[in-house]
Amino acid sequence: MKLTNFIDGNWQEVGEVEYTAVLNPANGEHLAEVRMSTKEDVSLAVAAAVNAQKKWALVPAPKRADYLYEIGRLMKEKKEHLAQVLTKEMGKVIEEGRGEVQEGIDMAYYMAGEGRRLFGETTPSELADKFAMSVRAPIGVVGLITPWNFPVAIATWKSFPAIVAGNTFIWKPATETPMMAYEMAKIFDEAGLPAGVANIVFGSGSEVGTALIEHQDVKVISFTGSTETGRKVAELGGRHLKKVSLEMGGKNAVIVMEDADLSLAVEGILWSAFGTAGQRCTACSRVIVHKDVKKELEKMLLEQMESLTIGDGLDESVKIGPVINKQALEKIHSYTKIGQEEGANLLVGGNILNEGDLEKGFYYAPTLFTNVTPTMRIAQEEIFGPVVSLIEVSSLEEAIEVNNGVKFGLSSSIFSKDVNKIFRAQRDLDTGIVYVNAGTTGAEIHLPFGGTKGTGNGHRDSGVAALDVYTEWKSIYVDFSGKLQRAQIDTE
Ligand SMILES: NC(=O)c1ccc[n+]([C@@H]2O[C@H](COP(=O)([O-])OP(=O)(O)OC[C@H]3O[C@@H](n4cnc5c(N)ncnc54)[C@H](O)[C@@H]3O)[C@@H](O)[C@H]2O)c1
């Protein structure tokens, strides 16, 4: 199968370009060939999006929302097929694949509801016989750049608020996972979305991503990916005075206090640390544990880790799928070596399975380090794999300090039965998301999603907050006094 761009409602492309193979990380199966587009493809897509946006902005928002209801319905109808494609190209286990598709469906219906809200504000004027209000106006054409670890959900967090608010978009998915974007293009088409509202251009970040950021007609860039790439996107976007929304990496921790329900904590840690093979931006990669329960927690984690089955995510009994590619496998393994060199104690795992052979799948053994100190690199840097570091602390204050002592600020969690500790923690943990008595993963689409420090630049995906990325506040004053009234001067 050849994956070509979806531009202006057609599968179109210009010129002769290279195609790259899309491979199943569980077994090396050749799934498709994806177009490595050029700047010319981007220009074509932007022109279509600019043209479509003029008409789309004039469609009443509740009518724009009707398309989202239809997109949601189609996603629901095709849920199992979409989940299967997702698991094949990305590797996450099928249960999680279904969950990710469900997230997209939820987002479609949630943002469709916004079509009948998109609330603005009415405000009293300081002058008599004058009416004042502010409304959300669309910005124009938006560029969406997404990572491979959530091939569909993240794009729905961005594209659905964008279109309900009257924008059109160009989506550049990750090269590793273009098949879900292709499936979504088919759904946009089937839902009857007007040509040019949704455009998809496949290709590399350096070529297609850069062209989107540099194009003067693309007014907003919404990026999710690593902090390293996000910095480049922000720098280039800044040079072009572009609104840039960044959702980037994480180094998320679960805090386990001395009074915690340890069985629950173990369940939460396993799900958040090893689900998606640790390749979630919110994955738990540090466990900050009170010294009184450290030994017990260690023992329980080791026991439970034995039952984690590893293999092809399409097998319903498997709990951990492959990591995305060879490069990721090697990066994860390099961190195991770094941890050992730093003096951390490797309790279990720490090895590449099946010699890292593509045909046998890119699997990494679930790994647990203990006696990790907060400044070690394995406790500071995003590994993005099934590797967890246990850090011992003596108090809640110390736990919070350790949690906050990294350059990221996405998600954190605390297990405790003490209401005072819980409320202090939710106030003092410097992350965009805080869980109490649950792991670090499991965000719901109607709440803002994003983080502080190296994780983000103040914007949020999901929730109503996402609309702030794709709308401009417009203030409107209507003077019905019949005379010139000057603000600040004629108010005496
Ligand atoms: N905070 C969040 O919401 C969130 C969610 C999921 C993943 N992530 C993060 O994403 C990372 C994993 O994803 P990844 O490996 O695909 O990230 P990545 O930064 O390598 O790539 C992300 C996207 O940016 C594109 N890109 C690469 N170079 C570019 C450039 N110079 N200009 C423009 N675009 C460019 C890529 O092609 C891809 O589409 C992890 O760090 C993870 O924490 C964050």
pLDDT attached to residue 21: 97
- Is there a domain that residue 11 lies in? yes
SS3 97: helix
Which numbered atom of ligand 1 lies nearest the CA of 232? 31
- Is there a domain that residue 491 lies in? no
In whole angstroms, what is the distance from residue 220 CA to residue 167 CA? 10
Regarding whether 105 and 206 lie in a shared domain, the answer is yes
Identity (one letter) of the amino acid at 220?
A: V
pLDDT band for 491, please (50, 70, 90 cuts).
confident
| 216-273 residue pLDDT tens | 999 999 999 999 999 999 999 999 999 999 999 999 999 999 999 999 999 999 999 9
Cα of 56 vs centre of ligand 1, distance in Å, is 29
CB 148 near ligand 1, within 6 Å:
yes
DSSP 165: T
Which numbered atom of ligand 1 lies nearest the CA of 172? 39
| 346-400 residue pLDDT tens | 999 999 998 878 889 999 999 999 999 999 999 999 999 999 999 999 999 999 9
Regarding whether 101 and 205 lie in a shared domain, the answer is yes
Q: How far is CA 441 from CA 7, 109, 411, 412, in A?
A: 35, 22, 8, 9
CB 466 near ligand 1, within 6 Å:
no
Regarding whether 466 and 413 lie in a shared domain, the answer is no
pLDDT attached to residue 398: 98
| 178-206 residue pLDDT tens | 999 999 999 999 999 999 999 999 999 99
- Is there a domain that residue 56 lies in? yes
Which residues does the annotation mark as catalytic? 247
Cα of 226 vs centre of ligand 1, distance in Å, is 4
Regarding whether 384 and 244 lie in a shared domain, the answer is no
Nearest residue by C-alpha to atom 25 in ligand 1: 205
What the block records as the tokens of 374 is 């907060």
| Helix and strand element counts for the chain (H, E) | 15, 24
Q: Which helix (H) or strand (E) holds 436?
A: strand 433-436
pLDDT attached to residue 458: 96
pLDDT attached to residue 356: 76
In whole angstroms, what is the distance from residue 21 CA to residue 41 CA? 19
Which numbered atom of ligand 1 lies nearest the CA of 247? 1
Regarding whether 257 and 208 lie in a shared domain, the answer is no
CB 171 near ligand 1, within 6 Å:
no
Cα of 149 vs centre of ligand 1, distance in Å, is 9
Mean pLDDT of the chain: 97
| 146-182 residue pLDDT tens | 999 999 999 999 999 999 999 999 999 999 999 999 9
Cα of 122 vs centre of ligand 1, distance in Å, is 39
| 416-458 residue pLDDT tens | 999 999 999 999 999 999 999 999 999 999 999 999 999 999 9
What the block records as the tokens of 279 is 């390749």
Regarding whether 188 and 270 lie in a shared domain, the answer is no
CATH of the domain at 6: 3.40.605.10
Q: What percent of the chain has pLDDT over 70?
A: 100
Q: For 285, left (φ over 0), alpha (ψ -120 to 50), or beta?
A: alpha
pLDDT attached to residue 355: 84
Q: How many domains is the chain built from?
A: 2
Residue 16 confidence (pLDDT) above 90: no
pLDDT band for 415, please (50, 70, 90 cuts).
very high
- Is there a domain that residue 389 lies in? yes
Cα of 248 vs centre of ligand 1, distance in Å, is 7
Which numbered atom of ligand 1 lies nearest the CA of 249? 43
SS3 338: helix
- Is there a domain that residue 240 lies in? yes
CB 160 near ligand 1, within 6 Å:
no
Regarding whether 286 and 184 lie in a shared domain, the answer is no
- Is there a domain that residue 207 lies in? yes
CB 385 near ligand 1, within 6 Å:
no
Longest dimension (CA), the chain: 82
Where in the sequence is the domain holding 264, given as residue range(s)? 252-436
